[in-house]
Amino acid sequence: MMALPSENPILAANLQFVLSRVSGFDMPVDSLRNALLGIAAVHTSFLAAREGDAKTADDSVRLANAYRSQSVCLLNKACLTTEGVQSDSTIAATAAIALLDILSSGHSWAANLDLVRTVVNARGGPAVILARSARPQIGTISGVSRARLFLETVAMYELFGCIGTGQRPTVLQPDADGWWLQAANNGDDQSHVDECFGISRSLVPLLSRVVSVVCDVLEKYSDEAPCKHDGMHLMYNARVLYDALDSWSEPGTVHERITAGNCIYRSAAQILILRDVFGLTPADVAVQRLANVVLSLAADCGAQRLSVGLNWPMIIAGSQVVGADRARVLDIFEYFRCLETSAYVVSQVRKRMDISLPGADWRSVMKDESIDVLIV
């Protein structure tokens, strides 16, 4: 869950919910409790598989799926009530289910994120939720700090999901992202984006805008949607974003992993613009330069066991590599041992490139092979 080796604020906030409620008396918290048990079961499965205990690994996966089903059932029931919709533990439960889906490569993740979008909108949006939250108790992640933590978490999960689906982010909308950086009240002074996801919080709205512009371009040239976007306007917006990524600077001194993560995500976002908006080929000098930046820094992070949260940059950059550098991509994926989906997508792109098949890009591969998992 964490990009940096530090205390886990998400777990700390969740435990405050779980330990303060008796089982059977609060459906959102019961949903959260089951999701956390599911996460624990997935972790047990991973450890068992690593030790060669296939039976325990399989049993743990089945147990995780059962916990997830129960969690979703309780969450859906909770959202039928006003109390459930208004509870921060409901958003916490959706975040926990999303994490469970990430760890288990679940295929039902989209419905869960759709639900959290509905809940957040029903409460007036992130800015209203934060403004109505109480000041946190000293020494705890509670009140507005807890509300921000879970809103930021689901916003990040949704953003990662939108990279793959080509949809627009809605929790962190490009035209309504003031809540992301602005404090809602005097107690709203904590954020955990940097430590949880390994990139600076101030960079994320820019990434959201890039994903939205790419979505507009994909819609414009899709056979399934009417042409409603001005091509010249999209090109202009993309150019502005590309330059903004170039000139973006870190807000003060940050951990070296975050410095690397910032550069990795900026470069990956620029690749998206060059490939999806400007239509450049993988062999283009600018694309290759950016891919090299991503892969070099990802290798450094992987060697230090700080590779969490770098799947999408690896897919985006790894899918552009041609020639002898392909071996380097395979070496880097060795650091990402549990991320088989990422390596598989890149390998399929290569196969298509080698025999000049159409759709030699990660987006086409995922669509053609129905690879529909939440990747972080």
Q: What is the tens place of the pLDDT at every residue in 183-224?
A: 999 899 999 999 999 999 999 999 999 999 999 999 888 766
CA distance readout (Å), 87 to 67, 91, 129, 242, 336: 21, 7, 10, 39, 36
Q: Is the pLDDT of residue 167 over 60?
A: yes
Q: Are 91 and 121 a contacting pair, CB within 8 Å? A: no
pLDDT band, residue 225 (cuts 50/70/90): low
Q: Are 208 and 159 a contacting pair, CB within 8 Å? A: yes
Closest-CA residue to 194 (of 253, 139, 116, 109): 253
For residue 245, the Cα-to-chain-centroid distance in whole angstroms is 19
Report d(CA 69, CA 101) in Å as an integer: 11
DSSP state of 276: I
Mean pLDDT to the nearest integer, 316-334: 89
For residue 279 the two structure tokens come to 């239509």
Mean pLDDT to the nearest integer, 304-333: 89
Report d(CA 55, CA 69) in Å as an integer: 21
Q: What angle do CA 177, 182, 186 make, to 5 degrees?
A: 145
Q: Regarding predicted confidence, which is higher, 7 or 349?
A: 349
H or E element, residue 30: helix 27-50
Note the pLDDT of residue 325. Answer: 83
Mean pLDDT to the nearest integer, 303-307: 83
Mean pLDDT to the nearest integer, 341-346: 92
pLDDT band, residue 320 (cuts 50/70/90): very high
Note the pLDDT of residue 337. Answer: 58
Closest-CA residue to 93 (of 184, 172, 26, 138): 26
The set of residues, in sequence order, having a beta carbon less than 8 Å from that of 135 and lying 6+ positions away, is 143, 144, 185, 186, 187
Q: Is the pLDDT of residue 132 over 70?
A: yes
Q: Regarding predicted confidence, which is higher, 21 or 94?
A: 94
Report d(CA 183, CA 133) in Å as an integer: 12
Closest-CA residue to 116 (of 68, 74, 77, 158): 158
DSSP state of 182: S
pTM of the shown model: 0.95
CA distance readout (Å), 226 to 29, 276, 287: 43, 18, 30
Report d(CA 288, CA 296) in Å as an integer: 12
| Summary mean pLDDT of the chain | 93
Q: Over pLDDT 70: what percentage of the chain?
A: 95
pLDDT band, residue 5 (cuts 50/70/90): very low
Residue type, position 300, single letter: D
Q: Is the pLDDT of residue 46 over 70?
A: yes
Hey, CA dihedral for 331, 335, 341, 346, is it positive or negative? negative
Residue type, position 327, single letter: A
Residue with tokens 């403004």: 131
Report d(CA 290, CA 269) in Å as an integer: 10
Note the pLDDT of residue 4. Answer: 47
pLDDT band, residue 305 (cuts 50/70/90): confident
What three-state secondary structure class fits 265?
Answer: helix
Report d(CA 143, CA 136) in Å as an integer: 4
Q: Is the pLDDT of residue 172 over 50?
A: yes
Q: Over pLDDT 90: what percentage of the chain?
A: 79
Q: Is the pLDDT of residue 252 over 90?
A: no
Q: Is the pLDDT of residue 327 over 90?
A: no
Other CB atoms closer than 10 Å to residue 40's CB: what's the count?
15
Report d(CA 191, CA 362) in Å as an integer: 32
- Count of residues making up the chain: 376
Q: Is the pLDDT of residue 2 over 70?
A: no
Report d(CA 154, CA 94) in Å as an integer: 8
